């Protein structure tokens, strides 16, 4: 049947539309097929890699921190297993309720709870956050038994720092603590390890100064995670490298003895090997327990340390800067001898004072010493002899000699903070004080007063160089693989041997001559006789107002206005093995307070244990025996302290 004209037009139109639509569909299918080919074949490797990267995450594994030992292998800083309780927010549900239940099993402070909420808010919900650490095994057991009632809570085990000799080595080793925002800000490119929650880093002293070497290198584990980042399983693990172990030159037994001997005094002492420069002991008192800082010290404990007028947080042996008093007189004497201004037989008359620029400079002995030569000036510590000598020598040569003997310089012994002290000069006073140098300044400096400041470490170095005539360099830290008995060639100081010998003989008389200022602290045992010099450095002069109130002596004043007591020495006299410095803050006279402490330290170091009574003067023996008995109670039993296996 023939179609009508309008039907024919409709059919042709429908056919043309079908062809166009079919062509478009065919073109789209062709493009889609080409795109699928490109993705599935040509870019298959790239998308396979992207899929693996999304599926596999890398997690850091904290390394074992390097340990620290004394020269004999006794452990001073070790790692111990530390149990901690962690919480995963998304598994816990009601975090507040979970923590409330946990607090019934494990002691939790309000500070712990607040810190936990703070870390939960900063962390992803699937990451574990430490609620509390260093908990006991009993606590871990209770948590394990009650796991069904504690969703999201998991007990874990890690490593934490421990200092078995606590207060005895705080000012040498320092301590570690959790990473703070300040720790991260101080580093340009912080190690990713430092971003692990509650990771411990060195905060002070050796722990801080050698942080990069003690920390070690992180390990890694590959874990499979789902689309939201939750860990599904561990695929493989690569352990990191443990931190480097270090051995100190110090002797733990001697260090602990000295810490006990200093007691509650605000004091410090340094012992140096006269041949190698090894620091055998370096103590500061009072001290504090560094273990409190490892997990975070409480505000009350920290405030107590800050408010203590004896400043237990300060390492006095290295950071303390004190007028050296009469212990500086050997420097002035050598400057005079070396530059030809005096000889050992030169004399000065001491009437008890010397007038300089119209002002009287008094000797400590107001009645005067009479005619004094070099040996007597050291033996009896005559000030006038050195006032007179300072007018000839001048501050420039005195300062040069002081630096040659280790004063006014940093010795860089790896404890991070160390004072340079101060050996003043004309240029220094002009720059700092905006004033001209006067001759009275030189006279004050010549007897270790005025602006002169030194540390106990510097005084011990000075003593070692006086004992040997060699450029002794103090050493404290060595790698655990190094040996401590390596013989190094130590160069001689540029000092005339006759000048040095004259000073050594004079210092011998200080302790061993009846007129010497330290005669009461002599050592009787001939093979161990001590050579030394007393010092008393004035902190404040007694004012006229104080005199009117009846304050006429050092003992009448408040503790923090009294003089410092100092003593420097070396022994044995004929073959020096050790040099010692002792400073007792506001202790009074060096001969009365510091010298007896130094004698005990010398004998303890030379004998290697409690010395026999025969080493002491007869009248002192009973008191010494009682003191030794008391000190043994205060010292830790090193037999119970772990030693390195090396």
| pLDDT tens by residue, 511-533 | 999 999 999 999 999 999 999 99
Residue from 439, 418, 589, 570 nearest 503 by CA: 570
Region 418-436: what's the mean pLDDT? 95
The answer to whether residue 387 scores a pLDDT higher than 90 is: yes
- Which residues are CB-neighbours of 620 under 8 A, at least 6 positions away? none
Dihedral in degrees, nearest 10, Cα atoms 275, 276, 280, 285: 90
Residue 501's pLDDT is what?
Answer: 96
Nearest CA to 469 out of 633, 338, 592, 560 is that of 338
Tell me how far CA of residue 124 lies from CA of 148, 228, 568, in angstroms.
23, 10, 60
DSSP class of residue 430?
A: I
- Active-site choice (208, 284, 326, 455): 326
What does the H/E/C string look like for 151-211? Answer: CCEEEEEEEEEECCCHHHHHHHHCCEEECCHHHHHCCCCCCHHHHCCCCEEECCHHHHHCH
| Mean pLDDT on 44-65 | 64
Mean pLDDT estimate for the chain: 87
For 158, how many CA atoms within 13 A lie in the half-sphere containing its CB?
A: 22
Q: What's the rounded Cα separation, in Å, for the pair 605 and 477?
A: 20
- 606 three-state secondary structure: helix
485 pLDDT higher than 50: yes
Half-sphere exposure in the Cβ direction for 214 (13 Å, CA): 26
State pLDDT tens for residues 520-573: 999 999 999 999 999 999 887 766 566 656 665 667 778 788 899 999 999 999
Q: Is the pLDDT of residue 401 over 80?
A: yes
Q: Which has more pLDDT, 139 or 57?
A: 139
- Per the rule left: phi > 0, alpha: psi between -120 and 50, beta: everything else, 276 is alpha
CB 388 within 8 A of CB 446: no
Tell me how far the alpha carbon of residue 390 is from its chain's centroid.
37
Which residues, in sequence order, are CB contacts of 544 under 8 Å at separation 6+?
none
Percent of the chain with pLDDT over 70: 85
Position 56 pLDDT exceeds 90: no
Query: What CA–CA distances, in Å, run from 549 to 53, 542, 545, 546, 563?
Result: 83, 11, 6, 5, 19
Return the HEC string of 271-317.
EEECCCCEEEEEEEECCCCCHHHHCCCCHHHHHHHHHCCCCCCCCHH
Strand order in the sheet with 56-61: 56-61, 219-225, 231-238
- Is residue 49 pLDDT above 80, yes or no? no
Condensed to tens digits (0 to 9), the pLDDT of residues 175-189 reads 998 887 777 777 777
Distance CA 571, CA 577 (A): 6
- What does the pLDDT look like over 447-459, one tens digit per residue? 999 999 999 999 9
Question: Any bridge partners for residue 177, and if so which?
Answer: 201
Cα gap 287→81, rounded to integer Å: 26
**Nearest of 412, 235, 446, 208 to residue 327 by alpha carbon:** 446
Q: Of residues 387 and 24, which shows the higher confidence score?
A: 387
Highest mean pLDDT: which range of 14-23, 132-141, 417-426: 417-426
Is residue 46 over pLDDT 90? Answer: no
- What is the CATH T-level fold of the domain 252-286+315-480+490-542+563-640, as seen in this structure? Beta-lactamase (3.40.710)
The three-class DSSP label of residue 54 is helix
Is 326 part of the annotated catalytic residue set?
Answer: yes
Contact in structure between 457 and 578 (CB atoms under 8 Å): no
Domain assignments of the chain as residue spans, ordered by start: 97-157, 252-286+315-480+490-542+563-640
- Is a pLDDT exceeding 60 seen at residue 7? no
- Provide the 3-class DSSP secondary structure of residue 270: strand
pLDDT at site 308: 93
242-268: per-residue pLDDT in tens?
899 999 999 999 999 999 999 999 999
Nearest by Cα to 66 from 413, 643, 479, 414: 479
Cα separation, 423 vs 400, whole angstroms: 9
* Contacts of 237 by beta carbon, 8 Å cutoff, 6+ apart: 61, 219, 220, 221, 222
Report pTM: 0.84
Q: Are 150 and 102 in contact (CB under 8 A)?
A: yes
Give the C-alpha separation, 273 to 47, whole Å: 67
Cα within 13 Å of Cα(389), Cβ side: 34
pLDDT, residue 646, reads 44
Q: Rounded to whole angstroms, what are the CA distances from 140 to 135, 157, 459?
A: 7, 10, 52
Q: Which residues contact 400 (CB under 8 A, 6 or more apart)?
A: 335
Indicate left, alpha or beta for 335 from its phi (over 0: left) and psi (-120 to 50: alpha). Answer: alpha
Average pLDDT over residues 489-512: 95
User: Would you say residue 52 has pLDDT above 60?
Assistant: no
Per-residue pLDDT for 87 more than 60? yes
What is the rounded distance in angstroms from the CA atom of residue 465 to the CA atom of residue 467?
A: 5
Q: Please count the helices (runs of H) and the strands (runs of E) in the chain.
A: 25, 20
pLDDT at 484: 57
């Amino acid at each position: 049947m023939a179609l009508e004209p309008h039907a024919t037009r409709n059919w042709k139109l429908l056919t043309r539309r079908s062809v166009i639509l079919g062509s478009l569909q065919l073109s789209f299918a062709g493009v889609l097929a080409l795109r699928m080919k490109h993705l599935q074949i040509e870019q298959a490797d790239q998308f396979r890699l992207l899929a693996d990267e999304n599926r596999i995450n890398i997690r850091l594994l904290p390394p074992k921190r390097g340990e620290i030992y004394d020269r004999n292998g006794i452990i001073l800083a070790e790692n111990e297993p530390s149990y901690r309780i962690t919480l995963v927010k998304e598994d816990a549900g009601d975090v507040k309720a979970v923590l409330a239940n946990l607090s019934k099993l494990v002691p939790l402070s309000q500070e712990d709870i607040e810190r936990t909420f703070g870390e939960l808010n900063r962390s992803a919900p699937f990451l574990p956050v430490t609620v509390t650490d260093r908990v006991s095994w009993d606590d871990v057991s209770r948590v394990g038994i009650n796991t069904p009632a504690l969703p999201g809570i998991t007990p874990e085990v890690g490593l934490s720092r421990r200092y078995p000799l606590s207060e005895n080595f705080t000012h040498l080793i320092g301590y570690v603590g959790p990473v703070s925002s300040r720790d991260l800000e101080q580093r340009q490119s912080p190690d990713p390890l430092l971003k692990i929650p509650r990771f411990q880093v060195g905060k002070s002293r050796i722990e801080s100064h050698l942080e990069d070497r003690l920390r070690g290198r992180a390990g890694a584990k590959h874990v499979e995670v789902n689309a939201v980042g939750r860990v599904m399983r561990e695929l493989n693990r690569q352990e990191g490298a443990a931190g480097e172990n270090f051995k100190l030159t110090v002797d733990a037994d001697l260090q602990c003895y000295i810490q006990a001997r200093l007691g509650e005094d605000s004091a410090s002492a340094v012992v140096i090997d006269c041949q190698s420069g090894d620091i055998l002991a370096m103590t500061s008192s009072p001290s504090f327990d560094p273990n409190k800082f490892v997990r975070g010290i409480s505000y009350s404990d920290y405030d107590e340390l800050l408010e203590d007028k004896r400043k237990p947080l300060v390492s006095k042996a290295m950071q303390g800067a004190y007028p050296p008093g009469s212990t500086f007189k050997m420097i002035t004497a050598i400057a005079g001898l070396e530059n030809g201004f005096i000889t050992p037989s030169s004399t000065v008359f001491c009437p008890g004072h010397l007038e300089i620029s119209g002002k009287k400079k008094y000797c400590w002995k107001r009645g005067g010493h009479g005619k004094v030569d070099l040996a007597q000036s050291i033996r009896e510590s005559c000030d006038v002899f050195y006032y007179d000598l300072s007018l000839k020598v001048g501050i420039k040569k005195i300062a040069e000699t002081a630096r040659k003997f280790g004063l006014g310089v940093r010795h860089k012994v790896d404890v991070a903070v160390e004072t340079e002290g101060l050996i003043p000069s004309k240029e220094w006073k002009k720059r700092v004080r905006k004033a001209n140098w006067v001759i009275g300044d030189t006279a004050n400096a010549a007897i270790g007063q005025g602006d002169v400041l030194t540390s106990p470490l510097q005084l011990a170095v000075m003593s070692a160089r006086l004992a040997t005539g060699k450029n002794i360099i103090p050493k404290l830290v060595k790698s655990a693989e190094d040996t401590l008995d390596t013989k190094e060639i130590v160069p001689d100081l540029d000092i005339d041997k006759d000048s040095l010998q004259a000073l050594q003989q004079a210092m011998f008389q200080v302790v061993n001559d009846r007129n010497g200022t330290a005669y009461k602290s002599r050592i009787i045992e001939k093979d161990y006789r001590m050579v030394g010099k007393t010092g008393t450095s004035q902190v404040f002069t007694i004012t006229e107002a104080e005199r009117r109130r009846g304050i006429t002596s050092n003992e009448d004043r408040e503790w923090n206005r009294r003089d410092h007591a100092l003593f420097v020495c070396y022994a044995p006299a004929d073959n020096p093995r050790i040099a010692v410095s002792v400073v007792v803050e506001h202790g009074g006279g060096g001969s009365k307070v510091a010298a007896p402490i130094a004698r005990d330290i010398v004998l303890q170091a030379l004998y290697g244990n409690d010395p026999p009574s025969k080493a002491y003067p007869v009248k002192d023996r009973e008191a010494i025996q009682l003191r030794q008995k008391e000190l043994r109670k205060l010292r830790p039993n090193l037999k119970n302290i772990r030693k390195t296996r090396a």
